[in-house]
Structure 1
Amino acid sequence: MPTIELNCLLHGDTPDIDNIFSVEIDAEMAVSKLKEIIKEKKQDTVYFDNVNFKLWNVSESNEKLSILFENPNAIIEKKLEGKMLAETDRVFEYFSHELNKEYIHIIVEVPGYHLTFASCAKRKELVPSDKIIFKEDSFEKESEIIGIAKGIRIQFINKSEKYKLYSFIEFIEKVNESRELSSEKETKSSVGQNMIKNLMFHLHVSNEHLSWSDFHKHLIRQRKLTKDLENTMMNEDKLERLGGRKVLSIQDDVVFEKLSAAEDAFLEKFRRDEISATNFGLVDGKEVIIVMLDLPEGSLLKFYLPPVFEGFPVIIDYGLVQPFHRSYHEKLMPGISIGWFNNPPNALTLSPLVQTPSVPGGFYFLTARHGVGKKGSPVCQPGKVDDGCATVTKYNSLSIDNDGYLIDYAFCRLSNNNRVPETDQNKIYGAEINVSSFKTSVGNDDLNRKVDVKKVGKSTFFTERKLKYKWVYVRSAAFDPPKNGYALRVVGSHGPFAGPGDSGAPVFDRDNRLLGIIHGGVKDQSSTYVIPINLIIEHARQRRHVQFQLL
């Protein structure tokens, strides 16, 4: 699909040329990527207090969108037939047809950005003696705030008659009635967006005269400063730090499911770029949610996180998901240690041996890209000084794909085919296990299902744990700078599933099918993050037009 250009409007801005902004995106990319692009473009003018802002596909003319300002309580979904974009969907699922370049395509709904008189009164941003003025050419109407204790009250005078108004819509209606009675009514603008542009505010305490646009920016800026201060004070008083305490896994299946659901709900509400990963477990005998922050240890938080969520204490820690890269075997087989001639040297784990029909006679092994060099780099086996046992091929990637998934793999071609065992080529080192096949998909039937998994790695050798087919959002230090993406998570029951040096280690199920390879984990916690083999095989097929199969 080609790159498309989408016209966007923040819900709270008038739909005129000054406020409409455009973004470009590959239509194959996920909606989550579109949200990142919008956030980056507007972060200087918009306070994204809640990163889970909504995107609505409306594809409407500017005139029709004026209903958002004539009626602040208008529901986008019902009044404008808007459709909310789901983060995991791809952009082309909503915009596959030809777009009208003159229309608004997306309304960006950021909590707190759309102002109403009632919300301003509640926050005491409009107070008694402040004035609201409508001025258009020679026509001018002035009204005054006379009360806010029980909701806003506005005194409006028209030809010696006084009216008490209680909302933005009532004020607009009275102004419009006055305009229609004026002798110049044929020159007046229509109800809606143009009327908003002609509003002025006189704030008597600061003696400021502000247009609607300036008033809006002023309040959003003040709300941000206030929220930052409140959040910092609340977090410092109430949030608990992990502080090196041990995290144990949840053994009870019922409690496990409750915490898993709570973790999902927590991320839905509070996810932000500073959160590198979430987890749950037992700390000092308490069932807790753990939030890893990509911030210097001990930093003051400038955003809000609850000390308790859905009945579970929230504990914070600092750091990123770390990639798990850390004696000589004549025969190369899954589970043994391999490395890269860099400084300092890396160590990681060799995964299954494969071949491809497109390169007859070539044998490859799979491992993690973050632990080896670029195309052409030699891969060695620690314990013997030589030119390497294999070479990194072009079939490698360390990236975030269009759907937001973490991709980390490298197929390395063996330098000497004689080092492949004559039989049982994919027998796991030190274990009576042969990798039988690839698990070629993670379907809807798999999601949220727990399975027993095994792995053999360089550092922690043979381990068995539980994997729940659930995509978790992590921030990985394998990238510079760190990046966010989705991966599968394995939870250790008695200690970690993997550790430094186990990057690339094969993970397989009870039927000895290869599920994926190890990417990394979080220090002092039992969680390990896995790159599914189906993503690896499909990525190599789409990007490099190559199909790998087990020996």
Structure 2
Amino acid sequence: MTADELSEELGALLAIADSEVDNSILSNFTEARNDPNVIDSTSTSLDKIVVQLKKIGKELSIDLYMQPHITSLQRLNFLLKYAAPIVGNHKISPVCDNNTFIKMAKVGRDLRKDFGKKVPLSVTYPGMVDGKEYIIASVNLTEGTPVHNIPAEYKGFPLLVDYGAFKPSCDNRQFQPLKPGISIGDAEIDNACTLCALFSAKNQDKEYLLTVKHRVGDVDGSVIQPGKGTLNDHCAHVKFADLSIDDSGMLVDYAFCEIDKCCELISNQACGTQVVINSVQSTLDCESEDQFIYVYKVGRETGCTKGRMLPVLESVIITELFEEAKSANGLLVYGIDGKFENVYVKEQLEFKLIK
């Protein structure tokens, strides 16, 4: 039998069933084949085999032409054993059981503490994939990159790797009178964001709207409604704003915009609902890992969407807000139904809600 025939036979004998191999891992195997961590591990494994054979008086004899195949199979075995599987095209659904959700969210935070310095974890969260509970570990890496320095299972829950980071949200919607849930934006840029709540300043005959700094530009900039329009749609100008990460690592992203007196103004009844915003809270009364808070977001097109929030500050990786990806602390809302996007404001502000 020739060398090529022997190689082909060895490949057939050691073939791994497709069902046991993640396609993303296979497609990226050639890119990771020279990874020093993989090479060191496989070399060590081969050395152990030689030592064990010597103990029983045997020697390992491998023809030179077979060595590359053996090494490649060892590397593949290493990746299959230690690389966490990838979400891929599978749909991620929310975990419905509240107790399980709280438990999994805590496990996700522990995973970040243990492996956050080894892997660029954007966020970890509970999810259901194909009817099974998983901790989803989203990494700030190129899609398909093998992630073999976090476990495939952690504290009793299997892991799935996803790719991406937090990005500022943007949506374009049609005109609505000013009220929470409608779309506004920067007059100089084709974008849009959600109006959060309407306020009046103490001892002033002025009204303000609250939104995010990253979508309405700098102080004194013109704000239009709807988000995609012209200066004729001007409704406010930015009065106070901040977009930064403070000394404690907290993401601060807000803009108070003074509303034109000619604008049609109504109460703080959220768009498309009977919900009226009567109060705001800019600080946490307490941090609890054992109970969550229901959070609602409204929009003209999305309607009222519901989410769950644990009152615990968590570290995430954010892109596009700054010149480079940065880590920041914030409150995470896990969507229950529909698309959920939200904004949180850290600063204490001397305003009162419009009734």
TM over 0.5: yes
Is 1:252 the equivalent of 2:252? Answer: no
Partner residue of 1:290? 136
Q: Which has the higher contact order (CA 8 A, sep 6+)?
A: 2
Residue in structure 2 matched with residue 486 of structure 1 by the alignment: 329
CA distance in 1 between counterparts of 2:80 and 2:198 reads 50
1:363 aligns with 2:182: no
Structure 1 Cα separation of the partners of residues 115 and 206 of structure 2: 48
Q: Separation in 1 of the partners of 2:123 and 2:106?
A: 15
What is the CA–CA distance in structure 1 between the aligned matches of 2:192 and 2:254, rounded to whole Å?
15
Separation in 1, partners of 2:81, 2:188: 42
Query: Cα 1:496–1:332, aligned 2, differ >3 Å: closer, same or farther?
Result: closer
Identity, % of aligned pairs? 29
Output the CA distance in 2 between the equivalents of 1:407 and 1:450. 22
Equivalences for 1:71-90 in 2 at 5 Å? Answer: none
Structure 2 counterpart of 1:87:
none
Code of the residue aligned with 1:480 in structure 2: it is: E
Alignment partner for residue 549 of structure 1, among 332, 352, 355?
A: 352
> Is the counterpart of residue 461 in structure 1 residue 307 in structure 2?
no
1:425 paired to 2:234: no
Distance in structure 1 (CA, Å) of the matches to 2:323 and 2:90: 29
Q: Which residue of 2 aligns with 1:337?
A: 183
Within 5 Å, give how 1:323-472 maps onto structure 2.
323-326=168-171, 327-329=174-176, 331-343=177-189, 345-357=190-202, 360-382=204-226, 385-387=230-232, 388-393=234-239, 395-414=240-259, 416-421=260-265, 425-444=267-286, 448-472=290-314
Distance 1:362 1:236, change over 3 A: farther
Which residue among 258, 261, 269 is the counterpart of 2:106?
Answer: 261
- Equivalent of 1:242 in 68, 71, 87: 87
Residue of structure 2 in register with 1:205 after alignment: none
Task: Count residues with an aligned counterpart.
Answer: 277
Q: TM-score, normalised to structure 1's length?
A: 0.47
Shift of residue 451 of structure 1?
Answer: 2.2
Structure 1 runs of 4+ aligned residues shifted over 6 Å read none
**Which residues of 2 match residues 22-421 of structure 1 at below 5 A?**
233-234=78-79, 238-272=83-117, 274-301=120-147, 304-326=149-171, 327-329=174-176, 331-343=177-189, 345-357=190-202, 360-382=204-226, 385-387=230-232, 388-393=234-239, 395-414=240-259, 416-421=260-265
Structure 1 unaligned segments of length 5 or more: list them: 1-48, 50-122, 124-229, 499-517, 520-530, 542-546
With over 3 angstroms needed to count, the CA separation of the structure-2 counterparts of 1:447 and 1:436, relative to structure 1, is farther
User: Structure 2 length normalisation: TM-score?
Assistant: 0.71
Residues 84, 159 of structure 2: 8 Å contact kept: yes
Equivalent pair of 1:448/1:469 in contact (CA under 8 Å) = no
Residues 448 and 470, structure 1, Cα contact 8 Å, conserved in 2: no
Compute the displacement of 1:453 (Å).
2.2
CA shift, 1:317, in A, is: 1.2
Residues 333-363 of structure 1, C-alpha deviations (whole Å, 9 max, x = no match): 11111122344x11111111112237x2222
Distance 1:392 1:312, change over 3 A: same
Q: What's the CA shift for 1:476? A: 1.1
Residues 211-248 of structure 1, C-alpha deviations (whole Å, 9 max, x = no match): xxxxxxxxxxxxxxxxxxx9x95478532111132111
Structure-2 separation of matches of 1:379 and 1:234: 51
Over 3 Å counting, the alpha-carbon distance change for 1:235 and 1:409 in structure 2 is: farther
Deviation at 1:428, TM superposition (A): 1.3
Q: 1:457 to 1:308 in 2, by over 3 A?
A: same
Deviation of 1:369 after TM superposition, in Å, equals 1.2
The answer on whether the counterparts of 1:369 and 1:398 sit within 8 Å (CA) in structure 2 is: yes
Letter in 2 for 1:328: F
Residue of structure 2 equivalent to 1:128: none
Question: What is the rounded CA distance, in whole Å, between the counterparts of 2:314 and 2:194 in structure 1?
Answer: 23
Displacement, 1:282? 0.4
The structure with more radius of gyration: 1
Query: Is contact 2:109–2:124 with CA below 8 Å preserved after alignment?
Result: no
Residues 248 and 495, structure 1, Cα contact 8 Å, conserved in 2 = no
The one-letter code of the counterpart of 1:549 is K
Q: Larger strand proportion, structure 1 or 2?
A: 1
Contact 1:234/1:304, CA 8 A, preserved across alignment: no
